[in-house]
Amino acid sequence: MSSNHVDFDGDHGTHQSFERPEPSLDGLRVLVIDDNALVRQAMDCILASWGCQITLADGALMACDHVRRDQAPDIILSDYQLNDGYDGINAIRLVRELAGSQIPACLISAAADENLAHQAGAAGLYFLRKPVPPTTMRRVLWRMHLARVGGA
């Protein structure tokens, strides 16, 4: 998602196109928690295309196993409805507790529950309603990254 700016070069009478650089997400470690394999695969593809290092988990327990074995993620993206007895809010809470850090996180849901956004906010989470356009996902990832490094 680049926005282009066209500038007239008066010396040569030509138009030049300049792209505003997008913020880099290279190397950002993202934990994706979703019980739907197709959603995990799609998230893996798009996040990898942005240079992220992705860990995929089908639920809270698998996410915690990944954190125990590997380095804690920089950011967590979790679906709300999970099939392992936990919801996304609790899955994020468990991962944060295990990591000993308030890892920036985003809850994603297609649920019609209007109270869900409030619950996410009360838990210190970003909230996105499905379907999430890639441009919105990238913008939220960047905001969470800035919050993580103290730039926001």
106 - beta bridge partners? Answer: 77, 126
Number of structural domains, the chain?
1
Q: Flag whether 37 is in a domain.
A: yes
Q: Flag whether 13 is in a domain.
A: no
The helix or strand, by DSSP H or E, that contains position 65, with its residue range, turns out to be helix 60-69
**Positive or negative: CA dihedral 27, 147, 43, 56:** positive
Range of the domain at 33: 23-149
Q: How far apart are CA 58 and CA 32, in angstroms?
A: 8
SS3 112: coil
What's 76's domain CATH number?
Answer: 3.40.50.2300
Q: Flag whether 31 is in a domain.
A: yes
pLDDT at 104: 97
Question: What is the per-residue pLDDT across 14-42, written as a single tens digit (0 to 9) for each?
Answer: 444 445 456 789 999 999 999 999 999 99
Q: Flag whether 17 is in a domain.
A: no
Which of 41, 95, 90, 37 is CA-nearest to residue 65?
95
pLDDT, greater one: 81 or 4:
81
Asked if residue 151 has pLDDT above 90, the reply is no
Q: Flag whether 3 is in a domain.
A: no
pTM: 0.84
Strands (E), 10-118: 14-19, 29-33, 53-57, 75-79, 105-109
Q: What is the mean pLDDT of residues 99-117?
A: 95
Q: Flag whether 14 is in a domain.
A: no
Q: Flag whether 40 is in a domain.
A: yes
